[in-house]
Each structure stands twice: as C-alpha cells, then as structure tokens.
Structure 1
Amino acid sequence: MHGSAERRPNNKRRSEAMPLDTLPFPKSGLPGFASAPRKLRLVARHQNTSDTVTFTFHSLEGPVLHLPGQAIALDLPMNGGVATRTFTIASAPLGAQELSVTVKAAETGHATRWMHDNLAVGSEITARGPFGRFSLAARHGRPVLLIGGGSGFTPMMSMLRWLHARGETLDVVVVQVARRVEDLLFEDELAQIARDMPGLRLFEVVTAPAAGEVWRGYRGRPNRAMLRAMVADASRREVYCCGPEGFLGTVRQCLLAEGLPHQHFHTESFGASKPVASPAPIGKGVSNGHRVTLRGRSFEIAEGELLSTALAAQHIRVPTGCNAGQCGTCKLRLSEGSVDMQQDGGLSEQDVASGYILACCSRVTGPISIEDPV
C-alpha cells in the first residue's frame, strides 16, 4: 500500500498478550545463547523485491535460540570453496526450528548472488550462531525507535515480529528507509502488524523514487528536520539503527543533535567492537614489527597486533562478522609462519589442521604469509 507516510494502528488487542517482564531475559544485560554449528535445510524462499530474497531454513538439530536482532553465519559451498557470510536473523526468536534471513544480492556481492542463484528448497548448509549484542531484549523501560536503511531493516523486522508475536502494547516508532518504492520490504506484513499493535507508528521513506513511481510519503535522505517531523520525541527513546555506514552516521548525528543521549543509540554489532585502524604508510617499517604478505603485497605490523586491525590499516578488505572468533567469516589460510589465535568456535578442527586462521582473533608473532581461502 504505497503512498502513505505513516500507518496508524487500531486498538485491537490480542488475548494471548504477555507483558515484557514475563520474558526469560533479564531486565539488564543479555543472556548468552551458546554459539554452535548446526545443519540447516532450506524449506522455503520468497522473492521480496527484484534483488532481495528471504530464505527460510529448518534446523536439523533442534530449536534455534537467539535474541531479536542477532545474527547467524552461513557456510556457502560455492564453486571456488566455502565462503562464510554473516546475516541478521529476520525471524522472531520464538524457540522454533525455523529461522529466516533476508538477503539482498549486491552488485559486487558474489556470495549473496550465489545464494540467489543456487540455494533451492532442499539445499542443506552448515551454520554457526547466534552472534551479536544488537537487541532490544536489554531495553530499560524507554519507548523504542527502530530505524533501518535498505537491508539494514532486517534486524528491525526481527525485533518487531517478536514484539508483535507477544502482543506488546509498547510505544514503538518504526522507520524504514529504501531507495525506491519497490525496494520497501515486508509491506503487507508491516501493515498487519500496524493494525494489531496499538502502540506502533510506522513510517516509510523513499530516497530516490523512480520515474513513474507513485509516492506521497517522505522522500529524500533522512535529515534532522525529517526525523523531527516523524519522531518529535526521539530524545526520550531507546534507538536501534542499522544500515549502510553513511546512513548510520547521519541518523546518529541528527538524533544526538536532537538531545538523544549517546548511550541510548544502538547500532548493529555482531560481537566485540570493530577495531579502529589508523592507516600506516605502506612500505614504512614498524618498530618491533613482523612482515605480512597477502595478495601480492608485503608490509610490516606491530608485534601482537590483531591481524584484522593491521589489514584494515592497509586498506585490505577481508569479510568480517562477529569480530570475536566465533562466526568464521574472516577466515584466511596461513601458508607460512605462525600466529597466536584465540578463536571461540569459528573454525572446525579440520579448518585448523588445514592451516586456516581468523583475522579477528589472530595476533602476529613472526613473519607470515597468508592467502584467501580456497
């Protein structure tokens, strides 16, 4: 139902509703669900938009326990070898054996394009998870703002589906930002949720409507004036935001300028904080450093420095996920030398025996040569 900037709910209330304090989650902090490998079988796929598909998997090893907003790492058996990619779980954490991920096939995303072209009902893959601290399960009594840009709306949908399934009457504002009208996700389901949740206000923003698209709602990139018009009381809310880096930065800056305390602005993080890297001049020596060779390049990094931090400093891109040694996304093959690796289940015993390491939890202790995984 395009052209409506805001969807207002009715006052329908379901009898099975449960208050938040009945959750098995503590009111402060997050519970820890063990991250473990599991086998998944694809049982359904749904084409959301021209370049976005929702894949629904059945866990062959029991219920999938996770928090709304957490992620899972999928091992994709591509022709060139297994590629591990981390995706936010889009389905609500209801203790079922099914989970879904909604995946946009980016123009340069070889793994996501492979998923679209090759994963069919009946396909089986391995996965690890859950990961991440990005969840409103640790909400501390404040009203909520969920705002997602592009495929970054996926964790918002997990949180919203969870609240809806529980029949919550929370004061929730949801903002979905998409490039075109046809890129808006979960349109029919969002309309139903808005009808069922009396405390929900839903807004949609289209940044660049295509010629001929009918759109009477908010348009253009979110700015302070637009956000104030939609959520005048944003400064009193617990805000969860996910999307491209530039989108995150803009939303954060606007909301902090509106008076939101920084501790109430949350962005997606699959594990520990990502390393902050200060680029070092290529070819310059590093005191007490060790030489690292990768992709035909050679440079020095400091003794004990995390490999992921060093690679980022050299502008060498390696896929990342949890940054905690759990998901296996940043896997590389060590061909020469050794590292001090403190992984937490991201590699199998076979992976380790084959010389694989994880960049996020490996510290260089001597000269090394590394390669991309086969």
Structure 2
Amino acid sequence: MVLGPERGSNLRLALGKFMERLENSAFGFKVAQGDQKLRAQARKELTLILGKAYRPEIAQMLDQRPGAPIAPATARTPAPPASVASPALSASVWPASALSPGQTGVWSVGKTNVRCVSVTWETADTKTYSFVSDPPTLFHYKPGQFVGIEISLPNGVLRRSYTISSSPSRPYTLSITVKKVPMGWMSNWLFDNMVEGFECAISGPAGKFTCFDYPSRKLLFMAAGSGITPTMSMLRWLADTASDADIVFINNVRTPDDIIFHQELLHMSTRLADKLKLVIVPAAASPARPWHGPIGKLDEMLVKTYAPDFREREAFVCGPPGYIAVAKSLLADMGLPLEKYHDESFGGLPAAPPVPAARKALPAASAIASPAPKAGPVPGKPAETAPVDLARQAAGSGLLPSRSSAVANAASAMNAAAKAPANSQALTIPRATPHTLIAPATAPNATASAMNAAAKAPASSQALTMPRATPHMLIAPATAPKAEISIEGTSDKFGIAPGQTILEAADAAGVSLTHSCRAGVCGACKIRKVSGEVQMDNQTVLSQRDVDDGYILTCIGKATGKVVLAP
C-alpha cells in the first residue's frame, strides 16, 4: 500500500506525537524503568523507523487543520500556569477546604464552641439548625447520639439536650432538628431567635440509642413526631457507608403536614431501593393535602404487614412517652425478644419541684379516716369496704408510714367499736387532721391510749376526744447526719433537704451545675463523686464503668450525709 509523500509524513508526525506523550506519561515512566523490556525495545525500534520525523518540537504541527502547509518549527513560549487562589481566599469561599482529616482536629468528647451556618424549615413547627465548630474541627460521634446545647443570655443560661440529626459520615457540620412545643423554653427560643451566625456551645456526645453498637443484618426503625431525628441520623449513616442492612422504617405522624424530612425520606427510599422499606402513617388526613398511603395508628397489623419477620430484627423505637409505651408493649406481646428492643423517649416532663418528705405521700385526711362512699358493685371486689380495710390498704400501699403507731392503733379501735353491743351508742371518732396522721416512733402513744380507753368505755360515755399532737410530736429527731454538698477545690457548699435532688439543692443555693433534661435521661449532669453516699433510683444512663468510677447524675441523685463532688 502506497501512502504518498504527504500522508507518509503526516503518519510519521502522528507516531512521533504518540511517542512524545507516551514518554511523558506514567506508563512511559514505567517503560523507562525497564519493568517491560519488550515494550522498551519496541519503542527504540519505532524511533529508528521514524528517524528525523520523531522530533518533539514539530509535534505541535498536528494540531493544524488538515491540508494546511506545515510551518517551520518555532520556539514555544510556555503558557503561564493557571492562577491558584490563596488558601485564605479558598477557605472564605469553601470553608471545608481548610479541613483535612489528617491535619484538622476532631471533636469527639467535651465542650466546644459552634456557630450556626444554616436554618432549614422542615415543617410549620420544626427547623433544622446546622453548626460548624469554632475553631474549625471535624465532628465525630455515633449515629443516634445527642449533644447538650448551651446558650448564654443576659438573664441566665439555657441548657437542653437534642439528638443529632446529621450523620457522622458527614463530619464538616453538625445538625439538630427541633420541634417547637408548648412550654418548651429552649425549643421556643431556638425557633424564634436562632439565625445564621449565632454562636453557642455544645457538649457531649452521649447516648446509647444507636444501631452502631448493635450490628444486625435486619433493622426495624419506629418513630413518631420529632423522634425521627435519631432515626434519620442512623439512616443517613447506613446509606453513606454502603451498608447492606435490610431496613424497615415505620414513621407515625399526626397528619401529612407533620412529616419531618419528607422529601429526603422519599429520596432515600429510592436511593436504597430494596434495602429500605419505608411506610409513613398519618393518624389523620390533612384537609388541604391529598394522601394516598395508609392512615391510622400503630398496631399489630401494621407491624406484621411491613415487617413480618420483626422477631429477627433489631428494633429501635423513638418518640413521645405514650408512643414508647404502646410500641414496647405491642412488640413484647407479639414476641420480639427483649434483647432486640431499644428505645429513647422524647418530651419527658422535667423533674417535679421538691416536696417536703413528711407531706409528699400523704393524701387528703378524709380519704383515710372517713368511710368510702357507696358505689355500684365491681366484679371481684366487695360492694363496700370497711374503714379498717381502708386503713390497712393505706398503710400497705405506702400512703402512710408503715411503722406509724397511729394507723395501727386506729385500726384496733375501729375493730373494738365494730364488736360493741348492739344497744351501745356508736363510737364517735373525730375527723383526722394532718397533725394526727404522723406520729413519731419515740413519742408517747397518747392516741393509742385514748382509743383503747374509748373502746372500754360504757355505752353511756360521751364521744372520744382525741388530743391534738404537739409540734414536738410531729417530727422525730433525725438520726442520720444532715446532708451537705461541697465542690472539691472551691468554696461552693450547700445543704440539701430530705427528698431533694442534688441539682434542686444547687439551684436553690445559687450554685451552677451543668444539666439539661432534669429527668435522668440525657446524662448532661454527670459528675464524679469524690466521697459520700448518693442514691439514684432506676438510672439507665451511666454505664457500669461510670458507676464504678464514682460518677452520678445530679438531677436524680439524692445525697445521704456529707458528699464531695469533683469540680
């Protein structure tokens, strides 16, 4: 085949251009290293064939239009390098460009300052607030955990714990999603005042409600209202990390207008395809918004329809206390193993104000001393309960002190009156007052003596007059040492009343202790106990290691004697 002089010259130039690019590439570098000797030999032979045509300085002529005469080679002026923005300019436009996983610090525990960078409306009463750390750091936590938000105001400090709705797989920002609720001081303040640029502090992270610690091939998520926030964090993390877990998510809402993350949930359902079975169930339809999905409340049929294999799944339930109670009871009755059930309650009420121990458990006096009003018969119960039974029931149920001599002797007196002759006059016992309900163990048993005398009195005797207890008889001398709290290394010291928590006593004394939920749920008030005894009923936040190391929760901890806390 004859190419002709012009076509042959163009072919040589093309081959020369190819060899130039080959030598300047990474592949050419490997060839030069001798790891492929046969190809290196072929390159040499091709260079000999091309001869003078293989000259890099004339390879640029290939870029000219076909048929154009070949211009003589001229010296090329190197093109100026592309302008590169300064690091400061890049950071101002792309803040994340200044963060490098290998060089930037990572926040994983403790307190740090943050700045709000965006506020996003989710529903009419719910917003998502996104923060960056200041100074810049990357956020590290487990999906589903929460942080404490602390906002300093001129008249005090607002503190509250909120679940992180963002995913740790996206470490540049941290987001919380907050629903505005009645009497929610912190949520209302955030809703009305939090804007881009606002600075506050976060602490944490904390919380055990996370699928991270319970790896499973099958997951069941159930959420109601703002309880979707930890679920969303876990869903985002599972999607970003290419998990192959099979997920069923049942999201119960009031109406279609109250669906938080609605569009993202639909997108995620499409993105994860068969890995995610999403069902959103409003309790009622919205008048102005069509809804073509299921409507109703959480029940057995709903669970069996979308998660027939629920017994094989690790279940995570989050929502208001009422929803948690229904879901837990339902799943337990349906046979879900207890070790596969995990929940976190939202919207718990703050701890009740302290009540003096002597009057905290006492009902109205008339409920104990007076006979119960007659009512219709109740299956399995007598139609009327005798006064002596009321007294016994009150003592057994904890309504009265179990060792109080007043109740026991009152019951004896009533028994004696019930056995009195028919012609005897009825024994008249005055209505009990709060002063007569509590009798000290060491005080003279004046009430018992009076009642026994009344039982032995003749029928013609007058009504019994019970002596009024005097103040020194009402409160027994304290045998336990007075409770007192002190902070090690500081001058802070305050007393604590019986039945009062450490946090309540600190607030009353004007001592600031870190806290949030005030209900033993979030763990923000965790502090180490140096010495002394502190009782915590039904705490589930601290790990056994925390307890062994001496940590307590001040919002539910009640001190006995003198207690010293670490600063």
- Structure 1 runs of 4+ off > 6 angstroms? 284-287, 338-342
For residue 178 of structure 1, the aligned residue among 223, 243, 253 is 253
Name the residue aligned to 2:147. Answer: 72
SS of match in other structure, 1:129: strand
Residue 498 (structure 2) pairs with residue 300 (structure 1): yes
Residue 117 (structure 2) pairs with residue 43 (structure 1): yes
Partners of 1:234 and 1:258 within 8 A in 2 = no
Deviation at 1:211, TM superposition (A): 2.9
Name the residue aligned to 1:364. Answer: 559
Deviation at 1:114, TM superposition (A): 0.5
Name the residue aligned to 2:331. Answer: 255
Do the aligned partners of residues 213 and 281 (structure 1) sit closer, same or farther apart at CA in structure 2, a change above 3 Å counting?
A: farther
1:54-87 alpha-carbon deviations (Å, 9 max, x no partner): 0000012411110000000000234531111000
For residue 174 of structure 2, the aligned residue among 69, 83, 99 is 99
CA distance in 2, matches of 1:235, 1:136: 16
Name the residue aligned to 1:59. Answer: 133
Partners of 1:65 and 1:95 within 8 A in 2 = no
SS of match in other structure, 2:278: strand
1:195-229 alpha-carbon deviations (Å, 9 max, x no partner): 11131100101013333432232222211222222
1:299-344 alpha-carbon deviations (Å, 9 max, x no partner): 632xxx864799xxxxxxx9527948952499xxxxxxx99789xx
CA distance in 2, matches of 1:88, 1:227: 25
Name the residue aligned to 2:307. Answer: 231
1:231-275 alpha-carbon deviations (Å, 9 max, x no partner): 2111110001100011011111111122110110101289xxx99
Q: Which structure 1 residue ranges, 5 or more long, are not aligned?
A: 1-32, 293-297, 311-317, 331-337, 343-356, 369-374
SS of match in other structure, 1:92: coil
CA distance in 2, matches of 1:176, 1:281: 46
Name the residue aligned to 1:113. Answer: 188
1:129-158 alpha-carbon deviations (Å, 9 max, x no partner): 100111101224340011111000100000
CA distance in 2, matches of 1:106, 1:84: 16
Partners of 1:91 and 1:99 within 8 A in 2 = yes
For residue 264 of structure 2, the aligned residue among 183, 189, 203 is 189
Name the residue aligned to 1:169. Answer: 244
Do the aligned partners of residues 288 and 63 (structure 1) sit closer, same or farther apart at CA in structure 2, a change above 3 Å counting?
A: same
RMSD of Structure 2 on Structure 1 (CA): 3.7
Deviation at 1:361, TM superposition (A): 6.7
Matches of residues 341-360 of structure 1 in structure 2 within 5 Å? 359-360=554-555
Deviation at 1:96, TM superposition (A): 1.5
CA distance in 2, matches of 1:360, 1:321: 5
Q: How many residues matched?
A: 295
Partners of 1:49 and 1:182 within 8 A in 2 = yes
Partners of 2:523 and 2:553 within 8 A in 1 = no
In terms of fraction of residues, the more helix-rich structure is 2
Deviation at 1:37, TM superposition (A): 0.3
For residue 320 of structure 1, the aligned residue among 513, 517, 520 is 517
Matches of residues 2-21 of structure 1 in structure 2 within 5 Å? none
Do the aligned partners of residues 196 and 365 (structure 1) sit closer, same or farther apart at CA in structure 2, a change above 3 Å counting?
A: same
Partners of 2:148 and 2:516 within 8 A in 1 = no
Name the residue aligned to 1:217. Answer: 293
Partners of 2:222 and 2:249 within 8 A in 1 = yes
**Which structure carries more relative contact order (alpha carbon 8 Å, separation 6+)?**
1
CA distance in 2, matches of 1:326, 1:161: 25
Partners of 2:109 and 2:204 within 8 A in 1 = yes
Residue 156 (structure 2) pairs with residue 81 (structure 1): yes
Partners of 1:149 and 1:243 within 8 A in 2 = yes
Q: Which amino acid aligns with 2:178?
A: V
Partners of 1:325 and 1:358 within 8 A in 2 = no
Q: Which amino acid aligns with 1:300?
A: P
CA distance in 1, matches of 2:173, 2:519: 22
Identity percentage of aligned residues: 29
Q: Which amino acid aligns with 1:177?
A: N
TM-score by length of 1: 0.69
Q: Which structure 2 residue ranges, 5 or more long, are not aligned?
A: 1-106, 362-474, 485-495, 506-514, 536-551
Q: Which amino acid aligns with 2:524?
A: C
For residue 342 of structure 2, the aligned residue among 242, 256, 266 is 266
CA distance in 1, matches of 2:344, 2:205: 14
SS of match in other structure, 1:218: coil
In terms of fraction of residues, the more strand-rich structure is 1
CA distance in 1, matches of 2:504, 2:302: 36
CA distance in 2, matches of 1:309, 1:258: 41
Rg larger for: 2
Name the residue aligned to 2:428. Answer: none
Q: Which amino acid aligns with 2:133?
A: S
